[in-house]
Chains A and B, each alone.
Chain A
Amino acid sequence: MKKKAIGQAGWLWTGLASIVAFIYFFPVLFIILTAFRSRSDTLATPPKWFFTPTFENFYHIFFRAMANSTEYVATGFHVYFFNSIYISGMSVLLALLIGTLAAYGFSRHPLRGNDTYLFIILTTRMLPPIIVIVPIFLIFRITGLAGTYTGIILMYTAFNLPFSIWMMKSFFDELNTEIEDASRMDGASERSVFFGVCIPQVKAGLAATSVFALILTWNEFLFSLLLTNKLTRTMPPAMARTIGGEINVDYGLLAAMICLFIIPIFLITYLLQNQLLRGVTFGTIKK
């Protein structure tokens, strides 16, 4: 049984913890409130704590009012939204497929210099993306991959791969190999050991790994900034561009965008609490 806490504490402790959590959470709360304020309420000083909530900011993410007319034009944000989903979905799927195989290999059929390979793989994840991006940018420009879905998906697959390998390896390492050996004794082929015995046991691990990889890709900024164009851009650079000029920044709009971004993440944090430690350390720390 996994220990989750030491000792018991009562509601008094809950009260203390809620105050601390509220202070910590306050920034996010403020953003959420801003998202539901009308434009004039956002600019009010002192800040209005009570106001009539409005969805206009959310509407403006996708449709922008033209100057001095009542017409609304699409901002193209639905494209960025779709791009984010499509690109992160595809690259996570690919990385998970390749990564799980590799993780199984590293865990069950170690090579000579296994640790060195794993070290190099982790290093590719730890190294500052800014170093790789310069030559990648040049290569993509030469090969015509810049601005294409293929290019950015390939980039993100490689970005997710080290993470998937380390995560999945940590899950495979936890399994009891006796079950595998027993099914081998019973004449199961290597393939059915992998698909029939190992994979069902790491289902939770696969789910956790894919969710973490999805979040990492969904949040990524630099690669998308430099390797996509207007048609393939994802959400983070699109959001950053909205700030663009320093004057007349529509913070209500930005807050609404952030809201769309963070609400799913809160749910995921809650659901994956037990895997969080492993997830944020790329599977290097299990307990």
Chain B
Amino acid sequence: MNNNKGFLSWFLDPSRRGPLLIAPAIIVLLLVNIIPLMWSFGLSFFKYRANTLKLPKFSWFYSYEKVLTKDNIWESLQTTAIIVAGSVGLQMILGFLLALLFASQFPLRKILLMFVLAPMMLSNVAVAIYFKLFYEPEFGLLSQFVQSFITGEMYVLLSTPAGALIGVIVADAWQWTPFVMLLVLAGLVSVPKHLYEAAEIDRMSWWRKFTTITFPYVRSLLLLAVLFRTIETVKIFDLVFILTNGGPGTATETIGVLVYRTAFQFFRTSNSAAMGYILLFAVIVLTSLYLYVIKQRESEDI
């Protein structure tokens, strides 16, 4: 260890305290995140396949051109958009309703909340396996329900493109509705009580109370919930990979699954890097928007 007092006190000078404290974190992130990102940025300008020994060949925007024109990136972006819209939409509606239900204090509230909140803490793998079991044609609950009450035949949800999409959306929405609920709940309890009391005196209708008092308090949190869930759902991979593996055909091939397949099944490494950068761009835009809303909300101080 360094026992040199002079050096130590120079090193630990108050003006250097901030940088010193964050240095270890920055180093780890540089090593494991930033440098790999740069690497893959570089890679996207080369022709390279990770399963051959050929050296990368510089090719300007070839990968990007190829990705944007040949590969089915547009199709997978569309699929991702459908899943995001469906799942986030469902989460918002159900999450809002659940939050309204749990907004007031009642006996056993905390225990019941546990049951509703837990799904978002579960592993995507566990959720995917569960829904696979649920949709299973022979003895899955869904199929048996349809069989005994509606058609009398086995029901294979995941075999049709639309069915597979619905299957993925329902599973994802089930897992993440508690997230939206939690945010809305935070908004609902932040409404000052005296506003409701004043509204009571003015004999406002339920709808007017909702639109003029409740909603303004929940609005920014709703927006944050939409942004956060959109960022996360755009990346959706585990659930789709295990539940449908992108199928049938490419019906549920989201951008995450496409990048995975391109990189690790077809070994078009540089193409996958180019795709990754297109995805990264979208996520950066969404993240800055998210932080902007956070800042706005903090400065409004509600």
A residues adjacent to B (C-beta < 8 A): 3-11, 13-14, 16-18, 20-22, 24-25, 27-28, 30-31, 34, 42-47, 98-99, 101-102, 104-106, 108-111, 117, 119, 121-124, 126-139, 154-155, 157-158, 161-162, 165, 190, 215, 218-219, 221-222, 226, 236-237, 239-240, 243, 249, 251, 254-255, 258, 261-262, 265-266, 268-270, 273, 276-277, 280-281, 284-285, 287
Whether A258 and B21, one on each chain, are in contact in the complex, defined by CB atoms closer than 8 angstroms, is no
Query: At the interface, yes or no: B112 with Cβ under 8 Å from chain A?
Result: yes
Check A121/B29 contact, CB under 8 A, given A219-B122, A219-B123: yes
In the complex the two chains form, what is the Cα distance from A198 to B53 in whole Å? 54
Taking CB atoms, residues of chain B closer than 8 Å to A134 are 40, 43, 259, 263, 269, 272-273, 276
Q: Which residues does chain B contribute within 8 Å of A42, judged by CB atoms?
A: 139
Contact B235 A128 (CB under 8 A): yes
A130 touching B256 in the complex, CB below 8 Å, given contacts A28-B118, A221-B124:
yes
Minimum CB–CB distance from A157 to chain B (whole Å) comes to 6
Q: How far is the CA of A111 from the CA of B123 in the complex (A)?
A: 37
Q: Indicate if the CB atoms of A101 and B109 lie closer than 8 Å.
A: no
Whether the Cβ atoms of A284 and B287 lie closer than 8 Å is no
Whether the Cβ atoms of B237 and A130 lie closer than 8 Å is yes
Using Cβ atoms and an 8 Å threshold, which residues of chain A touch B112? 14, 17-18, 21
Q: Interface segment, B12-20, B57-65, B67-75, B83-91?
A: B12-20
Which DSSP category, helix, strand, loop or mixed, fits chain B's interface?
helix
CA distance A131 to B50 in the complex (A): 15
Across the interface, which residues of A come within 8 angstroms of B125, CB to CB? Answer: 219, 221, 236-237, 239-240
- The A-B contact count (CB < 8 A) is 302
Given A128-B280, A285-B183, A287-B190, verify A47-B122 contact (CB < 8 Å): no
**Which residue in chain B gives the minimum CB-CB distance to A265?**
B121
- Which residue of chain A is the closest to B134 with respect to CB atoms? A27
Closest Cβ neighbor of A224 among chain B residues: B125
| Least CB separation from A264: chain B residue | B121
What residues of chain A lie closer than 8 Å to B190, measured between beta carbons? Answer: 3, 287
Interface of B with A (CB < 8 Å)? 14, 17-22, 24-26, 28-29, 31-34, 36-37, 39-40, 43, 50, 98, 101-126, 128-134, 136, 138-139, 141, 144, 148, 174, 179, 182-183, 186, 188-191, 193, 221, 224, 228, 231, 234-235, 237-238, 241-242, 256, 259-260, 263-264, 269, 272-273, 276-277, 279-280, 283-284, 286-288, 290-291, 294
* Interface contact A5-B105, CB-CB below 8 Å: yes
Task: Check B123–A139 contact: CB distance below 8 A.
Answer: no
Sorted nearest first, the 10 A-B pairs with minimum C-beta distance are: A105-B21, A109-B18, A158-B32, A219-B123, A102-B25, A131-B276, A135-B36, A5-B105, A135-B39, A128-B235
In this complex, what residue of B is CB-closest to A95? B28
Q: Assess the A218–B123 pair: CB atoms within 8 A.
A: yes
A18, A45, A111, A222: the one within 8 Å of B18 (CB): A111
Whole-angstrom distance between the alpha carbons of A73 and B116 in the complex?
Answer: 39
Given contacts A24-B115, A43-B139, A265-B122, contact A6 B108 (CB under 8 A): no
Chain A residues whose C-beta falls within 8 Å of the C-beta of B26 in the assembled complex? 102, 117
Write the chain B residue with the least CB distance to A134.
Answer: B263
**Chain A residues, CB < 8 A from B21:** 101-102, 104-106, 109
The answer on a CB contact under 8 Å between B105 and A9 is yes
- CB-based nearest B residue for A18: B112
Chain A residue at minimal CB-CB distance from B234: A128
Cα of A9 to Cα of B101 in the assembled complex, Å: 10
Q: CB distance A139 to B36 under 8 Å?
A: yes
Q: How far is the CA of A134 from the CA of B108 in the complex (A)?
A: 48
Say yes or no: A158 contacts B28, CB within 8 Å: yes
Contact across chains for A127 and B104 when beta carbons are under 8 A apart: no
Bound CA span A11–B20, Å:
56
Measured between beta carbons, the chain B residues less than 8 angstroms from A129 are 235, 237
Report which residue of A121, A162, A276 has the largest number of chain B beta carbons within 10 angstroms of its beta carbon. A276
Question: For residue A16, which residue of chain B has the nearest CB?
Answer: B101
Contact assessment for A280 and B28 in the assembled complex, using a CB-CB cutoff below 8 Å: no
Chain B residues in 8 Å Cβ range of A34: 133
- Verify A281–B107 contact, CB threshold 8 A: no
Instruction: Across the interface, name the chain B residue whose C-beta is closest to A156.
Output: B32
Query: How many whole Å from B97's CB to the nearest CB in chain A?
Result: 9
Assembly CA distance A109 to B182 (angstroms) = 32
* Contact of A277 with B242 in the complex, beta carbons under 8 Å: no
Q: Let me know if B108 and A5 touch, CB within 8 A.
A: no
B138–A269 contact, CB under 8 A?
A: no
